[in-house]
A and B are shown apart, each in its own frame.
Chain A
Amino acid sequence: MNKEILLQLKGMNAGYGGLRILHDVNIQVDEGEVVAIMGPNGAGKSTVLKTFFGMTEIQSGSVKWRDKKIDPVPHEVVRMGVSYVPQGRRVFRYLTVEENLEIGAYVVKDKKEVRRRIEEVMDIFPDLKAKRKEKSVNLSGGQQQMLAIARGLMTDPHILLLDEPTLGLSPKLVKTVFAKIKEINERRNMAVVIVEHNLKSLLGIVDRAYVLDHGKVVIEDTAESLASSDALERVFLGTYNKRK
């Protein structure tokens, strides 16, 4: 196993307006890998993804892309091949499904290529195909989430960052979404970072997992080993550090 490190936070201290949220966070994502970031509400999971994208205040530490330090700004990070699907299915409700996808492909300048990718993601999410001309306000919650993910795929990224993609979805839909993500990961060799609050079923599709608590990485482990221990439960019960 000699995979290249794609994206990395090193000794990251970051937050908002002088406030420190992340404390000495080290997270790395290798090429083609699926990584979970889990932890209680307010632990700083979304802040980690935003930091990759230059949407937080970096106080010290570094963001690295393919082992080179970068100064992340959204429009540059997208062009490097990182795609970010923020929390809360933020689709543009008054634009159609297709228009949403076109917006996602902003950095792709070749119009024909954009058309091709729209067809490609619609093959992955057939529900969207039937609704392509519909305003996305008319989609169900699950379909909006699919659209948000599909829109994130339009740049054909090397790495996809997903913030709580299953929030508010039925267990059955959660399974579908995870299956799709895994399928895309394998088909495109695209790395994925999935943030979820506390969802053991996520461990079934990831290679490694980080658990965050109060802005610190408290666990870094393989999916199998985390799935078979009670460490995750202990973090949520607030008893993890006490036994360590």
Chain B
Amino acid sequence: MDYIMHLSVLVGVYAILGLSLNLVVGYSGLLSLAHAAFYGVGAYGSAILMKDFGFSFLSAVVLSVLITMAVGVLIGLVLSKFDGDYYALASLGFSVIAFGVFLNWRDLTNGAFGIFGIPKPEIFGYKFLAGEPYAFLVLLAVIFTFLICYFVVNSSFGRVLKAIREDEKALQVFGYKTTLYKLAVFVISAGLAGFAGTLYGSYISFIDPGGFDDLVSVNLIVVVILGGLASLNGSLLGAAFFVLLPELLRFVGMPDSITGQMRQMIYGLGLIALMMYRPQGILGKFRL
């Protein structure tokens, strides 16, 4: 049972990451490979605020989400100078930079050793321990994120994002400052990724730079594309698939030592097959 709860928490964290990244990649057509950076800033932010500065869980979450959004503004402003392939490459650059910061700003992040003993959340006197309580907390967080994303994509703001994805230049002709819209959605998405990071850190109680490297950004892109571009349900499906695939492999008798690598390979092959036969993803409504 604990095992199932454990997997549920991980699926939930990836679901929040996938949903938020889909706002940028699926709904706005911006292939961002910077998402791990925000995930990491959120995780490190709340870990440091709670451990070193004695913040409560809720205030640490709020503050680190705000910090992540501020970082999102800076990165988003730089990225607004890029288009297409260059956008993807430049955003990947930010994942690499963030990893470098987590690794090398030792006074703050403890470098390669990572941060141990991140406290479990305590909200109004109730401590969310691993198992059912934490899974419940994450479930609430996923619902909250889903609602935010649902609202964003179905609002008139979301309509503009879809139009940007289709033809940004044509939209400017009507007076839209499309750069601002792109920045806004990027920052919302960054904040939600930071939120996922706070939940992950407190759950696992130990974080190190390796949990937030550029491969994580790539994996998240796969979660979004596999599940379906511009489909919120698709991101939930993609997250579940990503987290549960190694378990499935173990279940069919594959030794533990290679399930990790196998996941990466099956993932890669799956993505290639998908790009050939269903480029919009399983539940997707749009192709890149």
Which residues of A are interface residues toward B (Cβ below 8 A)?
A: 53, 55, 74-75, 78-79, 84, 86, 90, 92-95, 99, 103-107, 151, 155
Contact = CB atoms under 8 A, between A and B. Distances in A.
B173 A107 contact: no
6 contacts: A93-B166, A103-B159, A103-B160, A103-B174, A103-B176, A106-B176
A75 B170 contact: no
B106 interface: no
B175 A74 contact: yes
Chain A CB within 10 Å, residue with most, of B162, B169, B172: B172
B73 interface: no
Nearest to B156: A102
A55 B177 CA distance: 13
A108 to B, nearest CB: 10
Interface in B115-160: 159-160
B163 interface: yes
Contacts of A155: 174
Given A55-B169, A93-B166, A99 B159 contact: yes
A86 B173 contact: yes
A53 B173 contact: yes
A92 B167 contact: yes
Given A55-B169, A86-B170, A92 B163 contact: yes
B171 interface: yes
Contact of A107 (B159, B160, B163, B175): B175
Interface string B168-201: 0111111111000000000000000000000000
Contacts of B175: 74-75, 78-79, 106-107
B55 to A, nearest CB: 42
Nearest to A54: B172
A127 B47 CA distance: 60
Nearest to B164: A92
Nearest to B173: A84
Contacts of B176: 75, 103, 106
B173 A78 contact: yes
Give the secondary structure class of A's interface. loop
Query: At the interface, is chain B mostly helix, strand, loop or mixed?
Result: helix
B167 A74 contact: no
A74 B173 contact: yes
Contacts of B177: 75
Contacts of B169: 55, 86
B163 A104 contact: no
A79 to B, nearest CB: 7
A77 B246 CA distance: 56
Name the residue in B167, B170, B171, B172 with the highest tally of chain A Cβ atoms < 10 Å from its Cβ.
Answer: B170
Contact of B172 (A75, A95, A104): A75
A105 B173 CA distance: 11
B162 A94 contact: yes
Given A75-B177, A95-B162, A103-B163, A90 B172 contact: no
Given A75-B176, A75-B177, A103 B166 contact: no
A105 B286 CA distance: 26
Given A55-B169, A103-B163, 13 more contacts: A53-B173, A78-B173, A78-B175, A86-B169, A90-B170, A92-B167, A94-B166, A103-B159, A103-B171, A104-B174, A105-B174, A106-B175, A107-B174
Interface in B75-100: none
A151 B32 CA distance: 32
A75 B174 CA distance: 7
Contacts of B172: 55, 74-75
A78 B174 contact: yes
Contacts of A151: 174
Q: Among A78, A79, A92, A107, which residue has the most Cβ atoms of chain B within 10 A? A: A92
Contacts of B174: 78, 103-107, 151, 155
Contacts of B163: 92, 95, 103
Contacts of A78: 173-175
